[in-house]
Amino acid sequence: MTTLNVNVHYVTRVEGHGNIVVDIKHGEVKECRFEVVEAPRFFEAFVRGRPYHDINHIVSRICGICSVGHSTASTRATEKALNVELSEQAWLLRKLNFHGEILDSHVLHTYYLVAPDFFGVPSVIPLVETHREVVERALRLKKLAGDLCAMISGRHTHPCALVVGGFTHTPTERELRAMRERLVAARADMDATVDLFASLPWPQFERETEYVSLRKDDEYAFIDGVIVSSDGFTYPIEDYRKVTNEYLVPFSTAKWTKHNRESYMVGALARFNNNYDQLHPKAKEAAARFGMKPIVTNPFLNTAAQVVEMVHSLEDSIRIIDELLSRGVREEKPAPVKVQAGEGVGACEVPRGVLFHHYVYDEKGICVEANCIIPTNQNLANLNADIRALVPQILDRPQEEVRLLLEMLVRAYDPCISCSTHFLRVEFV
Amino acid sequence: MRLWVLPKEQVVDMVCRLMADYRVWGPQAKGPQFAFEPLPDPTAIRLDYNISILSPKVALQPPQERIAVFHLDGGFTVEPVIDAEPTVIFGIHTCDLHALALLDKAFSADFPDAHYLERRQQTLLVSLECLQPCDEHSFCKSMGTWTADSGYDLHLMDLGDAYGVSVGTAAGEALLTQYAQARPATDTEAQQLHEARDAKRLRFPNRLNFDAAELPSLLATAYDHPIWAELGDRCLSCGACTNVCPTCYCFNVIDSPELSLKEAVRWRRWDSCQLDEFARVASGENFREARAARQRHRMFRKGKWLYERFGELGCVGCGRCIRACLTHINIVDTFNAIHASQHRR
Amino acid sequence: MTAGSKKQEKPKVAFFDFASCEGCQLTVVDSLQTHLDLLDAVEIVNFREAATLNGWDFDIAFVEGSITRPHDEERLRRIREQAKVLVALGACADTGCVNALKNLLPPEEVRRYVYGEHADWYETYGARPLSAVVKVDAVIPGCPIDREEFVEVVKALLVGKRPPIPDYPVCVECKLKGNVCIFHVGGICMGPVARAGCGAICPTYGDGCEGCRGIIPHPNENAMKEVLDEAGLSVDDMMHYFRMFNAYREVGVGQWE
């Protein structure tokens, strides 16, 4: 087939509004792109003029799925700007809360958004009838992840207690012990999750790609660290602009990002490729079930990398709770803040990849400059490069299959379009 | 009345034994304050507390409870839900003990309330004499609730290393003999106890400038007093005063169907006369629309109307409403101001 | 309430969104964890975030998000025409939420700050709640919505009752939980004037209420300002608190059209 017209208006089962447009006439590619049509919200503009303690609660509202990530990146930026030191206990709780978010978001993406494609159904709902145990397992794991977040910061979407300097609430040892029991019991569900996803027929597609993520010396990095690229570059977080190199695309309203090549990828697969050595042994076992070892260049396996990370986050959560309990938990207030002028960059590996928040505060602690760079934005150029590489390989297939594969590719990136457009409106023309 | 002595170090042991057979409520630390809650473990009890955020009424009239289930599948049946279990409320200050006695009357009058009364039936009260006023807001002495001679099953009084224990009921005595290793008080200890009670009299101030027994007649002349408008201007209508009050017992009833529409649950939860919608009726009419009228209503309940119904004043002088009010509406100052103005006239 | 054997057809339900974080729809998805029977009670015909379904034959539309572009209005009106009941899902749809913070600022400056010299490429106008454009039959307040409250609203719609959204302030639920008052530990809280229904979750977790569920119908704003003044807030600080989630209530679309 040399003529192909795929027009997916509002790709479903992704967060936000995006379209796929492929137009090929007589073998000539006229158009081939992923468009983002989400409404702009101007967060960067309107956080200016507001006091430092409001910022993380406002920017949390960028995204309902990764609001713990935005809150964490935001508080880290402010903490660096105002020289606020977190206690060891607060650090452990930040990490534990973050694992809760990784688990929550990855369960959502793998089970609710991706799995229906493999079962040939439009959503997870019909599976309630046909594969009830799968749905119930997904619901159990999602509830566990949400409850883990809620135990620490009140709720998963828009955490209440996660503030500059730590937390306004401390979970009790009793709650931590109960949560530990549930996490241990969830290993069975996690094994079943690996079994399920390792058995799926993942589409075959390879494209050499530069992978960008955070890295830390002592652990699989989710919060802080340095920026690394699979092409061998390392930067301090403060130099994030050297990596993201935002640029304008002709006739486009979007700033894209590129580093060493035309595009780069962030997210679970990038973290897996760059930090495989630091994964929990059980997570490495899970990776082996997918036949995955760095460097993996099939973007469809981003979802598999998420499954591997779920295993890691579950195991590391148990370890962190053990550490908290052996230290003894004390009720703690957030570290005091001395209001002053300052500038700081916070970086986290949110579920979809590396996220940067950058603020400047005046001497009254009022935000005067703000910049945020969202993983989905960083991935858009790479996703489009993948689409352009994939389409010629599958041109001979029926149009519906092409459409499904392209949708699956978009979903594999787990785009969070609400996030990406809360700062920039992105359109590909 | 026999007096016993319970060494302080044995309190936790007693609570521990009680917890095997009873749900035990007691004062516990909550941040910098204290809360009356079921004890998660016996060592959590804090008998050195000053005052709890909510009164121990939460154990007998929970903020929210299921009171009935409706079955709508193939007919209509109603099943009452009575949620009661053997309970001990441990460490009740005497102001709150007096408040529980008033609640007993309120829930027994007219239509006896099975939910409250069944719980009350299964509940034993262990009270605790205060030797110091909890803070500048308490006025228990003015309201005559700063001590108690009845209303409890057991009553504790701090004697330094031990508690002197007065037995109020046979059930209380059984509790003491089965769950604690108390010994009968010596004559010296009994004397010590009486002395401690006498000594405390001087430490508690009278904050009302007149005899509380005059309150009903005083308020009878104050319905149109200008002070209500002042309070209305300040009142946030947040309901904090009534929700922390140990004698407020108003509740709302809410029906909620299950998603299947085959069952429904009737809930009740605390309500407050201070809220906008409290006195709004089906037609949309609100017969206490002004905040001033709502504050007046509260003060009249405490100082007049409950007395007329139950023969007891509705205020026990715990001071919780004063502490809770962010705009400093103060029931003692209000009563004193009315008294002063009537006096001047 | 219709009881007994009469079999009723399940209402068809659709979910749509405008400018928002989609956290409220995510909360809807999460409500299945404890209420899987929601799927027996209603038929979902359109839910882009969670399903490849795009039916336009629906009875109840839950709409998340604020209206921020003139062309959003057209889509919202189409939804309104089709829906027997239109429910504003969450603060963005109900009050404008933080989207309306931009309304406090001069439009040209805001657009230039984000888009630089290409500011005029982007269609945008003052953020507004759904009710500024169409008739809204019911609201589920909050940022995000409360999961249990969502289920209660569905139940109310199933039996044709007005959804039970409280008009009283957060303080009520906070007291019922026996919390330490945030003001008593040196904090700031909008609880006395903010709409309840969240179970006072923020104060329960030690952080002051920010009023994400909107302001109650008859707040005593003067008294509240005195409380905030006593807590040490300047007039500017007070405005930050009143406007964080309620900028639209305070200024409408401001200088934006």
Looking at the structure of chain C, the number of domains it has is 2
How many C-beta atoms lie closer than 10 Å to residue A371's C-beta? 17
Q: Quick one: B157 and B49 in the same domain? A: yes
pLDDT digits (tens, 9 = 90+) for C19-59: 999 999 999 999 999 999 999 999 999 988 777 788 899 99
Q: Based on the domain organization, do C73 and C200 belong to the same domain?
A: no
Q: Residue A257 has what pLDDT? A: 85
Residues C27 and C139 grouped into a single domain: yes
User: Is the distance from CB of B208 to CB of B139 less than 8 angstroms?
Assistant: yes
Supply the pTM of this predicted model: 0.93
Residue with tokens 């977040």: A149
Please give the Cα distance from B105 to B151 (Å, whole number). 12
Residues B32, B103 within the same domain: yes
C163: in domain? no
A62 at C interface, C-beta within 8 A: yes
Which of C76, C81, C70, C110 lies closest to C93, judged by CA? Answer: C76
* Rounded CA separation B95/B92 (Å): 8
In a domain, C255, yes or no: no
Which residue, C100, C132, C158, sits at the end of a domain?
C158
**Do B219 and B185 belong to one domain?**
no
Task: Report d(CA A405, CA A391) in Å as an integer.
Answer: 9
Which residues in A291-326 are b (16+ Cβ under 10 Å) and which e? ebeeebbbbbbbbbbbbbbbbbbbbbbbebbeebee
Q: Which ranges of A166-207 would DSSP assign to H, the alpha helix? A: 173-185, 187-198
**Phi and psi for B75 in degrees, rounded to 5?**
130, -165
Q: Are A146 and C30 in contact (CB under 8 A)?
A: yes
Do residue C36 and residue A139 have CB atoms under 8 angstroms apart? yes
Residue ranges in chain A whose pLDDT is less than 70 = 1-2, 9-12, 14-16, 36-38, 248-255, 417-429
Structure tokens at A372: 């945020």
Of C21, C143, C202, the CB nearest to A62: C21
C1 band by pLDDT with thresholds 50, 70 and 90: very low
pLDDT bracket for residue C122 (50, 70, 90):
confident
C171–B256 CB contact, under 8 Å: no
Match 């100082």 to its residue by tokens.
B303
Mean pLDDT of all residues in chain A?
90
Chain C residue with the nearest C-alpha to that of A369: C113
Residue C165 lies in a domain: no
CA distance C131 to chain B (A): 23
Query: Which chain B residues are closer than 8 Å to C176 by Cβ?
Result: 63-64, 243, 269-270
Where in the sequence is the domain holding B133, given as residue range(s)? 3-64+81-203
Tokens of B21: 């057979």
Domain match, C195 and C87 both: no
B99 lies in some domain: yes
The torsion angles phi and psi of A367, rounded to 5 degrees, stand at -70, 125
State the DSSP string of C47-102. ETTTBS-B----SEEEEESBB-SHHHHHHHHHHHHH-SEEEEESHHHHT-GGGGGG
- Do residue C94 and residue C150 come from a single domain? yes
Please tell me whether residues B38 and B172 are part of one structural domain: yes
Interval C157-167 mean pLDDT: 90
Chains with at least 3 CB pairs less than 8 angstroms from chain A = C
Q: Which of C36, C38, C76, C98 to mutate to test the interface with A (most CBs of A within 10 A)?
A: C98
Boundary of a domain, candidates C137, C158, C179: C158
| Mean pLDDT, residues C136-150 | 97
Query: Sign (positive/negative) of CA torsion B102, B103, B109, B114?
Result: negative
Report how far residue C182's alpha carbon sits from residue C191's, in angstroms, rounded to the nearest whole number: 9
Tell me: do B191 and B315 sit in the same domain.
no
CB contact under 8 A, C144 and A157: yes
In a domain, B258, yes or no: no
Whole-number pLDDT of residue A24 = 77
- pLDDT for residue A426: 27
The answer to whether the CB of C79 falls within 8 A of the CB of C61 is: yes
Residues B47 and B132 in one domain: yes
CB nearest to C175's CB, from B31, B244, B259: B244
Mutation target for A interface from C207, C209, C228, C248: give the one with most A CBs within 10 A.
Answer: C207
* Angstrom distances, CA of residue A15 to CA of A94, A415, C85: 25, 6, 25
Contact present, A295 and A230 (Cβ < 8 Å)? yes
Q: Are residues C17 and C79 in the same domain?
A: yes
Q: CB of A58 within 8 Å of any CB in chain C?
A: yes
Residues of A in Cβ contact (< 8 Å) with C33: 139-140, 142-143, 146
CB contact under 8 A, C240 and A62: no
Looking at residue A400, its pLDDT comes to 86
Q: What is the mean pLDDT of residues B70-99?
A: 95
Residue C61 counted as domain residue: yes
Nearest CA in chain A to C65: A39
**Distance between CA A361 and CA C151 in Å, rounded?**
42
Residue B115 included in any domain:
yes
Question: Which stretches does DSSP call E strand in chain C?
Answer: 12-17, 43-47, 60-64, 85-89, 138-140
Distance between CA atoms of A71 and A66, rounded to whole angstroms?
9
Question: Cβ(A406)–Cβ(A387) under 8 Å?
Answer: yes
A residues 261-300 lying closer than 8 A (beta carbon) to C: none
Asked, for residue C4, whether it belongs to a domain, the answer is no
| C3 chain-B contacts, CB cut-off 8 A | 72, 76, 261
Q: Say whether pLDDT at C253 is over 50.
A: yes
pLDDT of residue C130: 98
C238 and C122 fall within a common domain: no
Q: B42 with B128, same domain?
A: yes
B128 and B182 both lie in a single domain: yes
Distance from the Cα of A17 to chain C's closest Cα (Å) equals 9
User: Are B291 and B189 part of one and the same domain?
Assistant: no
**Are residue C237 and residue C145 in the same domain, yes or no?**
no
Q: In chain A, positions 102-161, which contact chain C (CB-CB < 8 Å)?
A: 108, 112-113, 116, 122-125, 128, 135, 139-140, 142-143, 146, 153-158, 160-161
Q: Last residue of some domain: B167, B185, B203?
A: B203
Q: What is the CATH number of the domain that holds C153?
A: 3.40.50.700
Chain A residues inside the 8 Å CB shell of C119: none
**How far does Cα A222 stand from its chain's mean position?**
10
DSSP for residue A109: I
Write the single-letter amino acid at A261: R
Judged against a pLDDT cut of 90, whether residue B48 lies above it is answered with yes
Q: Count of domains in chain B? A: 2
C2 is a domain residue: no
Tell me the mean pLDDT in the region C114-132: 84
Q: Which residues of C touch A49 (CB under 8 A)?
A: 105
Which residue of C168, C181, C184 is in closest CB contact with B277?
C168
Domain that holds residue C174: 170-250
* ipTM > 0.85 for the complex: yes
Q: Are residues B216 and B199 in the same domain?
A: no
* B194 & B227 share domain: no
pLDDT, tens digit (0-9, with 9 covering 90-100), for B198-210: 999 889 999 999 9
Whether B227 and B316 map to the same domain: the answer is yes
State which residue of chain C sits closest to B236, comparing Cα positions. C220
pLDDT band, residue B289 (cuts 50/70/90): confident
* Cα–Cα distance measured from residue A196 to residue A190, given in angstroms and rounded to the nearest whole number: 10
Q: Which amino acid, B9?
A: E
Q: Do C176 and B240 touch (CB under 8 A)?
A: no
Whether C114 and C184 map to the same domain: the answer is: no
> Which domain-ending residue is among C158, C178, C212?
C158
How far apart are the C-alpha atoms of A314 and A352, rounded to whole Å? 18
User: Of A424-428, C164-168, C203-207, C214-218, which gets the smallest average pLDDT?
Assistant: A424-428
Homologous superfamily of the A65-378 domain (CATH):
Cytochrome-c3 Hydrogenase, chain B (1.10.645.10)
Interchain contact, B237 vs C218, CB within 8 Å:
yes
